[in-house]
Amino acid sequence: MKLKHLLLGTATLTSMVVTAIPASAAEIYIPLLTYRTGAFAVSGAAIGSGMADYLNMLNERDGGIGGVKLNVEECETGYDTKKGVECYEQVKSKNPIVVNPYSTGITLQIIPKAAVDKIPILSMAYGLSASADGQNFPWIFNPPATYWDGASMFVKYIGGKEGGLDKLKGKKIGLVYLDAPYGKEPIPLLEALAKDYGFELKLYPVPASEAQNQSSLWLNVRRDRPDWIYMQGFGAMNPTAIKEAIKINYPMDHFVGNWWSGGDDDARPAGPQAKGYLSFTFNQTGTNFPIIKEIEKHVVEKGKSLFPKEKIGETFYNRGVLNSIIIAEAIRNAQKISGKKEIDGSDLRRGLETLEISAARLKEIGAEGFASPMKVTCEDHNGHNGAFVTQWDGTKWNKVSDWISPIKEKVNPLIEQASKDYVSANAGWPKRSEPCDKSS
């Protein structure tokens, strides 16, 4: 033990001083919480790149939005709640206009903080389904659809395949899900629908630690032989489940994943036999849209994208782009309502609350048919918009159904109930104090 070592050690310890970073003026600060490392990095890199590339494209092509440059900064969460909360605290001091948590765990942590810190949370089709209720969650937005919408669309879709929802009576439907808050979300809705339509719901939970070891679970599936399987999985769990389904000879075209189980890297590793696997999605894939071409021209070809060129246009990349379209349109809307160019979190909250992305507007920005038109209101922070089914053909995803809208009359009561439960469980939950803007 030398003194030199000791000095080195003390130097390291003393270097643990955190310096504050000054915020700069005349720009809109958009932090992106991404996870390009860790166990789920495959989807995280695609989503993160999609989000960053679209916003950077707006900077490159138009010099930002409304003449104000966007300051896009990523914070790495590794899909870890601890780091995510740390990221939130880190970006909070720099006046972010919106935070995209990109993990159910992180979203749940920061939902109570959003109203206090006056930062809108955009959890695009993930997070807490109940937060679609704008009266109790004025700062949380989760368009275009909740997991409950997704599950109801699945039931509607298989009802259509069986020849009517009444034909579902007596059928067996399996739910393969990640045994975590995210995976458990669709259960109450599917249970309610099972009662209404008379099908039998079989639950197959996959513990997070067993994501890549599902053989025993699929033995149960083989024994039960459900007519349809819906999967609410994530990360390595998805390809493993598809492989196991192939092993027990389960018909791929009766196996439907939700929108986080339908990435290219979910189906591809399962090999050619995964052909026919179905998945819901609310965004189109491929590069055949002017908006993606613009990104390729202004960002990718200049070498400013972190994503491999040949993978641009994959499901999760395009989903990241859609996430940024919502942010960008909300910024435009907020600038219009507030009359300010440099908006803050409160303005963007108003912008999100009166957001309407019509089919015409989608066409204008070069995303015709890319996603379903969406409309957010004061009461409804979700919109309960449609999605469609895609099928894996061995190399890419193809759209195989029309846009399916959720069974709203079944989903809405659940949202109301869950939102009420959340508020009553959290004594002292603040009443909404923000006035409603008229839709512009």
Binding site for another protein (CB under 8 A): 1-3, 5-6, 9-10, 12-13, 15-21, 34, 36-37, 45, 73-76, 78, 81-82, 85-86, 89-90, 92-93, 104-105, 108-109, 112-113, 115-116, 128-130, 179-181, 184-185, 188, 207-209, 306, 418, 421-422, 425-428, 430
In the complex with another protein, which residue's Cβ is closer, 267 or 415? Answer: 415
Place of tokens 């006035």: 435
CB of 22 to another protein, least distance (A): 11
In the complex with another protein, which residue's Cβ is closer, 93 or 440? Answer: 93
CB of 90 to another protein, least distance (A): 6
In the complex with another protein, which residue's Cβ is closer, 12 or 433? Answer: 12
Burial annotation 413-430 (CB, 10 A radius, 16+ → b, else e): ebbeebbeebbeeeeeee
CB of 47 to another protein, least distance (A): 13
Distance CA 142, CA 125 (A): 5
In the complex with another protein, which residue's Cβ is closer, 85 or 400? Answer: 85
CB of 13 to another protein, least distance (A): 7
CB of 19 to another protein, least distance (A): 5
CB of 182 to another protein, least distance (A): 8
DSSP single-letter state for residue 64: S
In the complex with another protein, which residue's Cβ is closer, 112 or 170? Answer: 112
Q: Which amino acid is at 140?
A: I
CB of 160 to another protein, least distance (A): 28
Pairing of strands 121-122, 140-141: parallel
In the complex with another protein, which residue's Cβ is closer, 24 or 93? Answer: 93
In the complex with another protein, which residue's Cβ is closer, 209 or 433? Answer: 209
From the list 376, 410, 413, 382, the residue with the least C-alpha distance to 152 is 410
CB of 434 to another protein, least distance (A): 16
Distance CA 115, CA 432 (A): 9
Q: Which amino acid is at 29?
A: Y
Residue 316 φ/ψ, nearest 5 degrees:
-75, -30
In the complex with another protein, which residue's Cβ is closer, 12 or 249? Answer: 12
Distance CA 17, CA 6 (A): 19
Sequence-separated contacts (24+) of 205-209 with Cβ below 8 Å:
205/177, 205/178, 205/179, 206/176, 206/177, 206/178, 206/179, 206/233, 206/237, 206/241, 207/179, 208/178, 208/179, 208/180
The C-alpha torsion from 314 through 316 and 322 to 328, rounded to 10°, is -110
CA 14 to chain centre: 40
